[in-house]
């Protein structure tokens, strides 16, 4: 049985390492429980169903296999014949818990929006200072002072033909998703 634990640990561990390097990114299977009818229903049962659907995800199986194997190896090494037939059941329980825990954690982390401002529309018209240069087709970074929140750094882009260097005072004219579209502020437009 030790060979099964070692093989499971190697299989799950290789999948986890491969996912660190981008292989299998977003490979969880998403199943439509409503047969394509997205107009009806209140969505109340979707949260409960999606928790169980994590069983079909690659993250569940990779973490589950790795922790099943690791737990089995440890229990066989430490417990030996004392634990006997309980080892596979304990290892399976730990593997299932680790797989579900990893799936739920990664799903929650992927739902969080990083860098999005709640009142992004209120930022339009504010001035900021570039931390990284911005050119057409190349994003940079702008820092804007927000009352009550301090300084906020945002990804910025510009439709201007020229380069906006570091330190340029810019005006936020719109947002495209989480990216602030900036142009040179009029006060600094005449200065070199």
Taking only the tens place, the pLDDT of each residue in 52-90 is 555 567 888 899 999 999 999 999 888 777 777 888 999
Q: Where are the domains of the chain?
A: 2-111, 120-189
Contacts of 44 (CB under 8 A, 6+ apart): none
pLDDT reading at 36 higher than 50: no
DSSP string for residues in 78-123: HTGGGTTTHHHHHHHHHHHHHHHHHHHHHHHHHHSPSS--TTHHHH
Q: Which two structure tokens, joined as six digits, stand for 139?
A: 């994003």
pLDDT at residue 60 in the model: 87
How large is the average pLDDT for residues 37-58?
53
pLDDT reading at 173 higher than 80: yes
CATH for the stretch 120-189: 2.40.50.140
Burial of 151 (0-12, 13-18, 19+ CB in 10 A): exposed
Candidate from 28-37, 132-141, 154-163, 182-191 with smallest mean pLDDT? 28-37
Q: Are 154 and 115 in contact (CB under 8 A)?
A: yes
């Amino acid at each position: 049985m030790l060979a099964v634990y070692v093989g499971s640990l190697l299989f799950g561990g290789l999948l986890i390492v491969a996912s660190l390097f981008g292989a299998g990114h977003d490979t969880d299977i998403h199943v439509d429980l409503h047969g394509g009818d997205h107009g009806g229903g209140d969505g109340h049962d979707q949260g409960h169903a999606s928790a169980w659907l994590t069983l079909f995800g690659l993250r569940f199986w990779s973490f589950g296999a790795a922790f099943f194997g690791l737990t089995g190896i440890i229990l066989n090494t430490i417990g030996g014949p004392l634990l006997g037939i309980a080892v596979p059941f304990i290892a399976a329980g730990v593997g299932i818990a680790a797989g579900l825990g990893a799936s739920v954690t990664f799903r929650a982390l992927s739902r969080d929006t990083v860098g999005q401002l709640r009142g992004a529309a209120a930022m339009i018209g504010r001035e900021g200072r570039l931390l990284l240069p911005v050119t057409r087709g190349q994003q940079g970074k702008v820092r804007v002072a927000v009352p009550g929140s301090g300084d906020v750094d945002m990804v910025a882009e510009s439709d201007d033909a020229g380069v906006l260097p570091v330190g340029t005072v810019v005006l936020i004219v719109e947002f495209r998703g989480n990216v602030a579209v900036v142009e040179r502020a009029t006060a600094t437009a005449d200065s070199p």
